[in-house]
A and B are shown apart, each in its own frame.
Chain A
């Protein structure tokens, strides 16, 4: 029996997707059944993520994008989201589909497999997140997109608030891959009140394009 070589996401949602795509050994869930404007959770774990650390971090321009100058700030350009974490570190999340190879520079580490990567979309997502964290997603001093590093459902996460207005509510977050299953269970349970449901990658692309 030949074993098919696949890359696996650490989570599997309940229910079957309507549409999937095989992409570089990943089976990407593209669409699930739509459920009105109820909030959605999307698995983006297959999206490439890099860690960048350098005492002179400003010299880097991954994907042609400059690193944000202060910790907590994010930029989203050319399908690349760069989150400044501290004086010497940034995380780089590739939100568009291109196949990317990591720059030949020791400052970069591919950490795609280190974390689970999730998106939450929809106007009630902040009613869900307030059940799971004390982090303030509405800090008046912060303008979206911004990064919060802190606990979410007790697990340290990197959370990027892409939008926090009723019309435009979206969060991306990562946490240690090992926690994936319990994290998604906690998120779905917290979201049950609002009919949070899984959605495919396309829903996220649509959101980004809007």
Chain B
């Protein structure tokens, strides 16, 4: 157990209380005229950033909230001030 995440409701907790919900990709695109490729881009494709990424988490074993956080994937640590560092 190494990762900790800061739930906006419950505070800093053990990472295993949470569910990873993917890279932040923005709201669902409009359906009209969307091509298979751009739909796939939204659903499956990842940037796989080796560095700080914005991502979704759910505090599944706690309060259940979905939230975004910034995490550095090269050290598996949450980043306090992502804008300042990125």
A contacts, CB < 8 Å to B: 71-72, 85-87, 134, 148-151, 156
Contact = CB atoms under 8 A, between A and B. Distances in A.
Contact of B10 (A87, A134, A149): A149
B61 A151 contact: yes
Contacts of B64: 86
Interface of B: 1, 9-11, 13-14, 16-17, 59-65
Contacts of A149: 9-10, 59, 61-63
27 contacts: A71-B10, A71-B63, A72-B10, A72-B11, A85-B9, A86-B9, A86-B63, A86-B64, A87-B9, A134-B14, A148-B10, A149-B9, A149-B10, A149-B59, A149-B61, A149-B62, A149-B63, A150-B10, A150-B14, A150-B17, A150-B61, A150-B62, A151-B16, A151-B61, A156-B60, A156-B61, A156-B62
B60 A86 contact: no
Contacts of B13: 150
Nearest to A141: B11
Contacts of A148: 10
A60 to B, nearest CB: 19
